[in-house]
Structure 1
Amino acid sequence: MADEITEEVTEEQVVIAPETMTAAKKLMGKRFQFVTDPDATLIRLARLGVRYIARDMTKCPERYEQTPETEEPPQVEPLDPLDILRKEHQLPSLPQVFLDLQRAINGKSTSADNLAAIISQDPSLTAFLLRMVNSAFYSLPQPVDTISRAVTVIGVNQLSTLAVGTSVMSLFKDVPAEVLDMEQFWKHSITCGLVARRLCRTLGKGEPERAFVAGLLHDIGLLILLKAEPERAAGVMKHAKAKDVLLWKEEKELLGFDHATLGGMLLRKWNFPFVLVSAVLEHHQPKREQKEPEAALVHCAETIATALGIGSSGEFFVQPPNPEVWASMNLSPDRMEEMIEDLDEELEEAFTILLDQ
């Protein structure tokens, strides 16, 4: 597929050397190696990805330095995911505001005043949500200065979903940095969430905030695995890298389950809405009969986010999208380019807000 990728040598005032563009094309060709029959939209996506990666290579060349492995990957024993979820001390403790918000989401008669009162108990969450509401994420015509007003403008369900989803990010501060760069992990997750949200709006299916949160949390199972079983998780990553295979498939091979399964189980344990549980559970393998669109949106958003190379979840390769699900997005090459065209500004603002919590 690499032969089909061509690009300019200058991107947004960043001068890209010809050898950097060549390296970016080579890298993208390898990333797409499991996409065996790309359509015109996937080919356009790969070209866009080359542009993003070449620019990043120019700005941060150290990120692309290869360190050869000198040791054989360790043996990895299978594991029952229920064993992880049964050990409460290994799971992040949920703050009270999170539990209150969960009850509000699941309640049938939550009012705007009730939700505003819950959120206002947590000053940092209040400040964060106001920044989010006043950002390019919503592009509202007038500034919003109170949570009550935010609830009125955005909606009870939408704001509560956003509050619960984003508050999860603060629960994973102690994942080993030598195994996974958490800033890069969340950049990938935020990108996936924003792309899922854009797909949602483009198709007119689902709820944008729900799609965003589903994308934001799609790899949460990987974080739980890293917290609960860091040696096993690191071992699986080393095996996947050594074999040049998809990470989630190697997880199934060695552990007996993948991070999508564990993430879905965790969100179920935390009483998340079923639509978010299923979106996380199925983001690698969406079910055909799924009525809610979020799983399909996140599945395709992950393909796009990984191809653009923004951040990293630990997965190197672009997952080949399910052909039926990909076709259901109705993305022509031009439509793909339009959707990605002004993504940078929204991403930078989202990174600033979400990663400074």
Structure 2
Amino acid sequence: MPKLNIDALEPDMVLAEDLKTVEGRMLLPRGAMLTEAHIRTCRVWGIAEVNIQGDEDENDDYPTSLDELDPEVLEVCKIMAAQRYVLNPSSHPAIKEMAKLYVLRQSRDLDAEQARWMLTASPHDDTVDIFQPPPTDEAGMDPISVVEQEMELASLPNIFFQISESLKNPRSSAAYVAEVISKDVALSAKLLKMVNSPFYGFSSKIDTLSRAVTIVGTNQLTNLALGVSVISAFDNVPEEFFSLKEFWLHSVTCGIVARLLAGRAGLQGDEKFFVAGLLHDIGRLVMLRNHPIASTEVLRQAKVGRRGLVDMERSVWGCSHSEIGGRLLKAWRLPAFLEVLVHFHHDPMEASMVSEAAVVHVADFITHGLGIGSSGASLVPELNTNAWRTLGLDTKDLFDIARQAERQANDVMAAFFPEG
């Protein structure tokens, strides 16, 4: 069943599945025939794509079956998948499906020679001792001290705190929020570009912030503004293991997947989930900026020794980037929702909001599983199967989620990094 962009919909097309808002509100049942009024309703609710009955989109370059691949390319990509998913049990249905999607994604535009080169470009050495003392005296990090140091050395733009205060004020009007955000010209331009992208799928151009706030929603756009303003604060971290562009691509994709998962799980607050996914690894940037030697040593040991990065952090530092990130958001006085989801995205079942934390945990797993962007981990983090079960997801959902996320990530990255 092809998933068509809202602009490609035409009257008399038939829905291949129930049409719901991202909050889970039913609009039309499966099998309904679309009318002009239905298409307008989709635009009003911000629905970007709709499943339509018919043949698969011929222009979609995403392979749908392993049978379509060159046998040699397939074999190499399978080896790469096995290496990448080594922390996860191959018997779980979600692991199997994600490994398949990884193979399909990695195989695109590859010939046999390129595939062999990719395999040899990732050597590893399992003899590295995970318990070997690191060559630095920075072992045993106190997350509170790390955050205090970050607060002393780094400064967020003033607009961040103004936006944060407006989000907490229940009396903030759309006009007031638009006025606050408009004080930062670069931020305003990025938000307008994003709102006008297929990420939202509105039919007509939105050319003012006040209209954007009115259409998208005050809280939704304010949350987006907070997330976007944080990106500009981290532009001076070491890039030995990943570039900042790769880091934000991973983070943006995680946010998009979280937004999609929340909708499928019937959880409200799609922009909040996007921002939680966007900021989920912010603690890693904090560590790289303030403790570059300790950070790069952990990243190196995890990569060369084929170890889980979070386990390596806890073994060496005594804490993880997720704990540091959560404490940082608390220090920034961001909403508790974001703090909890960032803090517990590797331990969702320990969070006070289990279902919500499970969304970001699974989104992070999917994003790593597809190999989109990089936050330093060379292996796919272990999937908490209880979190997967909590969301009530079907493995059949994963292909559509992967395809939508990759499309939307390109649009959002173009808004965040217009210079390309």
Q: TM-score, normalised by structure 2?
A: 0.77
Which of 176, 201, 211 is the aligned partner of 2:263? 201
Cα drift, residue 67 of structure 1: 6.2
> Structure 2 residue aligned with 1:343, among 367, 385, 405?
405
Q: Distance in 1 between matches of 2:261 and 2:173?
A: 29
Instruction: Find 1:52's aligned residue among 105, 110, 113.
Output: 105
Q: CA RMSD in A?
A: 2.6
- Give the counterpart letter for 1:48 in structure 2: L
Aligned pairs, number: 347
Identity %, equivalent residues: 34
Q: Is the 8 A contact 1:267 1:277 kept in 2?
A: yes
1:319-334 map, 5 Å: 319-334=381-396
More divergent stretch after superposition (131-140 vs 217-226): 131-140
- Give, in whole Å, the separation in 1 of the partners of 2:188 and 2:273: 22
1:274 to 2:336 alignment: yes
Which residue among 224, 227, 238 is the counterpart of 2:300? 238
Per mean C-alpha deviation after superposition, the further-off stretch among 86-95 and 273-282 is: 86-95
Which blocks of at least 5 consecutive residues in structure 2 are unaligned? 1-64
Q: Is there any run of 5+ residues in structure 1 with no aligned partner, and where?
A: 1-5, 11-16
- Paired residues of 1:251 and 1:258 also in contact (CA < 8 A): yes
Select between 211-220 and 45-54 the one with higher mean Cα deviation.
45-54
1:351 aligned counterpart, secondary structure: helix
Q: Of residues 189, 201, 204 in structure 2, which corresponds to 1:142?
A: 204
Q: 1:53 is matched by which residue type in structure 2?
A: Q
Query: Which segment is superposed worse, 275-284 or 106-115?
Result: 106-115
Distance of aligned partners of 1:335 and 1:86 in 2 relative to their CA distance in 1, 3 Å threshold = closer
Matched with 2:313 is 251
Distance 1:56 1:98, change over 3 A: farther
Task: Write 1 or 2 for the structure with the bigger share of helix.
Answer: 1
The answer to which structure, 1 or 2, has the higher relative contact order (CA under 8 A, 6+ apart) is 1
Partner of 1:14: none
1:42 to 82, 95, 100: 95
Q: Which has the larger radius of gyration?
A: 2
In structure 2, the CA distance between the partners of 1:38 and 1:272, relative to structure 1 (3 Å rule), is farther
Q: Which residue of 1 aligns with 2:276?
A: 214
Q: Distance in 2 between matches of 1:185 and 1:147?
A: 28
In the alignment, does 2:166 pair up with 1:104? yes
**Alignment partners' CA distance in 2, 1:341 and 1:87:** 40
Deviations 1:228-273 (A, max 9, x none): 0000000111121233211011100000100000000111100010
Q: TM-score, normalised by structure 1?
A: 0.90
Q: How far did residue 33 of structure 1 move?
A: 1.4
C-alpha deviation, 1:56, in angstroms: 7.3
Aligned residues of 1:125 and 1:167 also touching (Cα < 8 A): yes
Q: Which amino acid aligns with 1:253?
A: S
Question: How many angstroms apart in 2 are the aligned matches of 1:250 and 1:90?
Answer: 27
Q: Which amino acid aligns with 1:21?
A: L
Note the C-alpha offset of 1:152: 0.5
Cα distance in structure 2, aligned partners of 1:124 and 1:353: 11
